[in-house]
């Protein structure tokens, strides 16, 4: 089973990113993932994340979203954790704007890993103490540690 600290690293954890809208946030995520793995196309990541959003919002609730997709060009599960400078409307079920996003991209055939990782991410975001520590983090490293270690 893949563990979250194998999927996320400090270099893919960002504090204070500009989102402005759901679309802009997904574009930003796609560009960051391509920068981390040049085998990925930002356009394809964006299209895949957008297609997943059309099935139903990945707005988890409590100001959190977990945009995710499976991609044929992805060779290993990869995560990106972002705290936005300003919350954006993500069509979450609880109607709250989103300020924390965990984007997950996994290889096309990685069904079990995909579901297990989503479960681990959702479990971490269900912890109010962890969420408040993430919102208080003022550096990428502090945000990463609040997510991974609490």
- Measured distance CA(49)–CA(9) in Å, rounded: 21
Query: How far is it, in rounded angstroms, from Cα 62 to Cα 121?
Result: 14
What φ, ψ does residue 68 adopt, rounded to 5°?
-155, 160
Which of 12, 22, 68, 83 does the annotation list as catalytic? 68
Q: Is 106 left (phi over 0), alpha (psi -120 to 50) or beta?
A: beta
Our answer to whether residue 114 is catalytic in this structure is no
Query: Residue 120 in 3-state DSSP?
Result: helix
Q: What residues act catalytically?
A: 68
């Amino acid at each position: 089973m893949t563990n979250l600290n194998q999927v996320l690293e400090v270099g893919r954890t960002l504090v204070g990113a500009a989102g402005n809208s759901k679309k802009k946030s997904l574009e930003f995520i796609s560009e960051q993932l391509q920068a981390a793995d040049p085998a990925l196309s930002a356009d394809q990541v964006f299209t895949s994340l957008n297609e997943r959003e059309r099935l139903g919002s990945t707005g988890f609730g409590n100001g959190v979203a977990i945009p995710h997709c499976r991609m044929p060009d992805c060779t290993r599960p990869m995560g990106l954790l972002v705290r936005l400078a300003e919350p954006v409307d993500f069509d979450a079920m609880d109607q709250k704007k989103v300020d924390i996003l965990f984007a997950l991209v996994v290889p096309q055939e990685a069904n079990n890993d995909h579901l297990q990782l989503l479960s681990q991410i959702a479990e971490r975001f269900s912890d109010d103490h962890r969420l408040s520590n993430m919102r208080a983090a003022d550096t990428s490293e502090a945000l990463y540690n609040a997510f991974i270690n609490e």
